[in-house]
Amino acid sequence: MSTRVLTGITTSGTPHLGNYAGAIRPAIAASQQPGIDAFYFMADYHALIKCDDPARVARSRLEIAATWLAGGLDPERVTFYRQSDVPEIPELCWLLTCVTAKGLMNRAHAYKAAVDQNNAKGVEPDDGINMGLFSYPILMAADILMFNAHKVPVGRDQIQHLEMARDIAQRFNHLYGREYFVLPEVVIEEQVATLPGLDGRKMSKSYNNTIPLFEGGSKALRAAVMRIVTDSREPGEPKDADASHLYTIYRAFATPEESAAFRTQLETGLGWGDAKQALYDRLEGVLAPMRERYQDLMANPGRIEDILQAGALKARKLAVPFMQELREAVGLRAPAPAAAKPSAKKAGKAARFVSFRDDDGAFRFRLLAADGQELLRSQGYANPKDAGASLQRLQAGDAAGMLQADGLTYAAIVDGAAVAHGPAAHNPEQRDALMAQAREALAALAGR
């Protein structure tokens, strides 16, 4: 069973070294793991809450997309899209807004912090607070629930928003009598690097202490590294590596062996100037190839746009039918009438198996319904004879016993092993309906 993971980055600025090490790099690494169905998006609607500069939002959308791609994100492997290119997300946001208690939003940390600041200033509690800030957690819930993500990696400051998303999903499911939404699980990645900035505090634009990732090229990178605050110990004096911001950043971009060697140099008296040069050399070695790809992408925004539109199309293949199901649930659409089953004489194509060779060279087969919908897709086989043998055994087996639920999909089991899987469903009810359709198709092909 695949695990759907979803994360987004707000498009309100230019990515820096801390963004890359803390969010982008681990997300790209996670997307390359087997069994991960990754959804990564640019949260440009969220950007409007705190940025009213259209040029900055537009530029940031390009820069963040180019950064992900330059860092190694494979858009063929993941679903990579802009939030604003999936109109079903704000529509779902409204449905969720209508079932969310105002009291829940009153407890949101960001809203409470803004009210506390206003109280401290002696102004009205809601002075300067817009509805975007107030209802931000509902839009975040829509981002997650639209694709029924199983796991959502977040920082500790976002845990409350995930808990709210679960509360909202449970409320909707309860009101409308079905498990429409999966309850997402929060993922706190303790091993992900949180980089110190130039002054030792967490690297953040809020503190103006960031190290540029690509902006300004190698000169800007070196200039920032040389501004990192150090203590007054002279060359030849032992340095405390664990208390050094230089060492913390170096370790985030080096192997354990390289980090150990750098620690030894510091503890045996390496001068701060030489240490900063070593850190710059290490960062430049990692970032230079990515910077070249980034600059090429930024010079060709049409390529970025093509990738994002393809990602939005992939996302909407799930969002559009799911939104139709949710509209019916709340009474905005009448349920579609059941189509009359055609007689055997009038029926067109029947359910069928189709064999093919995948882009990776593997031989596979799939079971298609009469209308062309995919009901099963096999694992890959190096030899077409092996694929054909599995197909024959599947076709000749007991359809009722071979198909078994597997999370939000289902598997075809032959001799105790899964040889094929059905498509991922949004909820158990949809999965069971697809599995029943697959059983009927297998039984028809077997002549039963």
Is the pLDDT at 258 greater than 60, yes or no? yes
Q: What is the pLDDT of residue 407?
A: 82
User: What percent of the chain is modeled with pLDDT above 90?
Assistant: 62
What's the burial of 362, exposed, middle or buried (CB within 10 Å: 0-12/13-18/19+)? middle
Instruction: Tell which residue, 36, 37, 9, 35, has the closest CA to residue 23.
Output: 9
Is the pLDDT at 212 greater than 60, yes or no? yes
pLDDT band for 340, please (50, 70, 90 cuts).
very low
Annotated binding site for ATP: 10-12, 18-19, 155-157, 195, 202-206
For the chain, the domains span 1-191+300-334, 196-297, 352-447
Q: Do residues 9 and 43 lie in contact, with contact meaning Cβ atoms separated by under 8 Å?
A: yes
> How far, CA to CA in Å, does 407 sit from each of 7, 182, 364, 423?
21, 11, 22, 11
Output the six-digit token pair for 331: 């009474």
**How far is it, in rounded angstroms, from Cα 442 to Cα 369?**
10
Give the bridge partners for 353, in sequence order: 367
Number of helical (H) and strand (E) elements in the chain, helices listed first = 18, 11
Q: Which fold has domain 1-191+300-334?
A: Rossmann fold (3.40.50)
Output the six-digit token pair for 253: 């971009």
Output the six-digit token pair for 365: 């087969």
**How far is it, in rounded angstroms, from Cα 359 to Cα 31?**
19
- Would you tell me which CATH number, out of the four given (1.10.240.10, 1.20.810.10, 3.90.550.10, 1.10.510.10), belongs to the domain 196-297? 1.10.240.10
Q: What is the pLDDT of residue 227?
A: 95
Min mean pLDDT across 16-30, 54-68, 262-276 is at: 16-30
Burial call 151-160: b when 16+ CB within 10 Å, e when fewer: bbbbeeebeb
For the stretch 18-30, pLDDT in tens is 889 888 998 899 8
Is the pLDDT at 290 greater than 60, yes or no? yes
Annotated binding site: 10-12, 18-19, 143, 155-157, 195, 202-206
- Would you tell me which CATH number, out of the four given (3.20.20.70, 3.40.50.450, 2.40.50.140, 2.30.29.80), belongs to the domain 352-447? 2.30.29.80
Strand duo 352-357 + 363-368: pairing = antiparallel
Q: What is the mean pLDDT of residues 392-406?
A: 77
Q: What is the pLDDT of residue 336?
A: 54
Which helix (H) or strand (E) segment holds residue 368: the answer is strand 363-368
Annotated binding site for L-tryptophan: 143
Please indicate whether residue 265 or residue 368 has the higher confidence score (pLDDT). Answer: 265
Q: Please, which contacts does 222-230 make with residues 24 or more away whose CB atoms are closer than 8 Å?
A: 222/280, 222/284, 224/198, 225/276, 225/279, 225/280, 225/283, 226/276, 226/280, 227/198, 228/198, 228/276, 228/279, 229/198, 229/199, 229/200, 230/272, 230/275, 230/276
Q: What is the pLDDT of residue 193?
A: 66
Q: Chain-wide mean pLDDT for the chain? A: 89
Q: What is the mean pLDDT of residues 206-224?
A: 92
